[in-house]
Every structure is written in C-alpha cells, then in structure tokens.
Amino acid sequence: MPRRTVYEAKVEFVQILDEDGGFDAKLGKGLISDEEVVALYEHMVTCRELDEIAFKLQRSGRMGTFPQNKGQEAAAIGAAHALTKGTDWLVPCYRENAALFMHGLPMHYILLHWMGDERGNQIPDGLYMTPQAIPIGTQMLHAVGLAWAAKYRGEDRIACTFFGDGATSEGDCHEALNFAANLDLPVVFVCQNNGWAISVPAKIQCSAPTIAQRGLAYGMECVQCDGNDIFAMVKVVRDAAELARRSHRPTFIEAVTYRLGDHTTADDARRYRDSAEVEMWKKRDPLIRLRKYLVDRNQWDDEKERSLQADAKEQVAAAVKRAEEIAAPSTTDMFDFLYAQLPDQLRIQRATLRTASLGQDPTQLEGGIEASRQQDIEETVSERPVTKP
C-alpha cells in the first residue's frame, strides 16, 4: 500500500512585546488600551511587593514556606485580564497570586494560607476560583469538572487552570487533557514553563521541542507564547477563551517564563541553576519590559513610579496587618465547619476533645466527667458565629 501522511501539525510561538520594549503594532493593535496597560503594570508592581514582603515574613519566622511568584506575574495577570471576572473559573496552582487578586481575592487570604491558617482557603462567596493547589497537577482535573458542570448547565462559563512544566509529567495532567478534549469541554490549560520542576530542568521533563505539543496528542489547539509578554498572554488566552465559549473546545497554552526566585523558601536554586542563566532572565523581567513600553509612549515616569511604589508598600502592609491580627482559630473549628448539622457522636467529641472510644463514651474516663463537661455533651451545641478571614 502506498504511504500517506495521516497527520501533520505545527505549534506557533506568539510574542508581541519583546524584552527590549519592541512592540508588534500589527499583532497588538487594539489588544489592551493604554489605560488598561497602566492598571496592569500597577497591579504587577503591587504583587511583586507582596512577593518580597512574604519572603521576608518567612525568613523572620512569621510565616511558613512560601513560593515566590517573582518573574511570572505577566503570565497570571495576562490570563486573568483575558477572562471574564465573576464568570470564568480560575483554578490555580501556587504562583498565580496576581490573577486571584485581579478577580477579587483579598490579598491577606494568600498570607493566611502560607501562615498555616486554613481560612486563607475559604474563598469568599461570589468569586469563581478554587484555593491554591499544592499537589502537582491535581487541580487540572478540578478545572475539567467545573467546565463539564458549566457545559451541562448551559452556562456561558469556562475554566482556566494553571500548572507548571513538571505537572505535564503527571498522570493527572494527561487524564485532564483527555477528558477535556474527548468531551468537548470549555477549558483553557495554561502551562507556565519556568524551566525547572524544582531542580529538574524542563529538557529532562520533556524531550520534545515544546511542551505545548503534548496537547496535540489529545486533538486540541496548542500554542506557545512568551509568558513574560503580557500582550502575548492576553492574546492567546483571549483566543482560547473565545474558542471555549464558541465550540466548547479546550486549548493548551505553553507560557515560556522563568522563576527568578527559588522554587520555594525551602529551596536553594543556586545548587542547581547557573547564575548566568538567572542573570539572562532578569533582563527579561516582565516588570522591566512593561515599564519600558509605558515610558516609550510617555505613559510613565519616575514620579509615577515613586508614587506607585509607596502605594504598593501601603497596600501590602495593610494586608500583612490584617492577616496577623485575625483571631487565632479555635480547637473546635474542625468540628464546627465540617458539617451543616453536627452528628451526635461528633458533638460528644467536640465537647470532650477526645477521639475514638473515649470520645464516643466519655463515661469510660477514670473518675467520670465533671458536670460542666457532661452538660456540654447532653445539650445541643449552639452554632458559633463564623470568623471571617
């Protein structure tokens, strides 16, 4: 039988604003207004300030480990700007603070999370986002489920999920891609390829020329873009969102970026990264790039920068103050926020703060149980007011 080609494909790379501030006017025309660019830059600077302060909070023992977002702000902000706030789902991993804030999450929630307070994961009503996902790749399946539900209900809503290059080596990733493509689900998959899966370089994670092409195996649209170019991010995510709404088809986006900090504050990237590589990527910093663009167009100057820096410090300081001043969680929170109506056996455990057989039958306690505790068991535990973070 004669040979014939049954499949051919290509993956395009999209860049609109290069690292020197050069702008592709044709591709970027009408993409983001001047006012929007200024607002996005201001937001980016504020999020960078939070990143620096969070790092210092960890180093001073006031917070647990923290994964810096430094260097990857444009990928998250560009995606968030292209999506519909209050409608589309944001399903993050743990370097998308900037996107979550843009869609309404109060800044101190992120600090609470990394301080070990679960109330930082209590997403306020009306916000379409999930808590940060620490396990690698699991959130992609959640995004598929949310998009499936939206399609089933006939809602004009899509899900956008973020993950790193390392997550594409996880089975969860491929299950999510397979479900989304086969079921025609409105999902935008944003892979932030920052070059490293902790200490493992992307070239070992994936031997293919691009990570984006992994989506080709599932029959979905795939594109690679400059993840430090906010214009490119807005374009590719906006295109993907339009496809998802129109045809319920998923898109795989590979945003090529770089984490300028360590993987987390528990990591020391100097042990495995070449300092020359880091210096090269510092020149591609999305903040520096966007500021050049604004200055070249007389939209920004030193006075505005000083004012912005002062305002960012004030906003972040207020968020830190609010996170640190919130009342400590109660021991009984694990019971009070588990069920709408607490079962009898758990009411006993709540009153005695004992588990297993002693919690279920407190009369086994040597010497019995004092009257006040016994009364707690016999009476219905009154509802406690919820402490909002």
Distance from C-alpha of 236 to C-alpha of 251, rounded to nearest angstrom: 9
Bridge partners (DSSP) listed for residue 160: 90, 188
Distance from C-alpha of 213 to C-alpha of 221, rounded to nearest angstrom: 9
Measured distance between the N- and C-terminal CA atoms of the chain, rounded to whole angstroms: 69
Bridge partners (DSSP) listed for residue 91: 161
Whether the Cβ atoms of residue 59 and residue 114 lie closer than 8 Å to each other: no
Distance from C-alpha of 94 to C-alpha of 190, rounded to nearest angstrom: 13
Active site (catalytic) residues: 259, 263, 272
Residue with tokens 């920068």: 305
Residue with tokens 């493509």: 181
AA letter at 346: L
Going by C-beta distance under 8 Å and a sequence separation of 6 or more, which residues neighbour residue 10? none
Distance from C-alpha of 47 to C-alpha of 61, rounded to nearest angstrom: 21
Tokens of residue 250, six digits: 């998923």
Alpha helix locations (H) across 83-216? 97-102, 107-114, 138-153, 171-182, 202-205
Distance from C-alpha of 240 to C-alpha of 235, rounded to nearest angstrom: 9
Q: Would you put residue 197 in left (φ > 0), alpha (ψ -120 to 50) or beta?
A: beta
Q: Would you put residue 155 in left (φ > 0), alpha (ψ -120 to 50) or beta?
A: beta
Angstrom distances, CA of residue 257 to CA of 106, 168, 199: 26, 16, 16
Distance from C-alpha of 251 to C-alpha of 243, rounded to nearest angstrom: 8
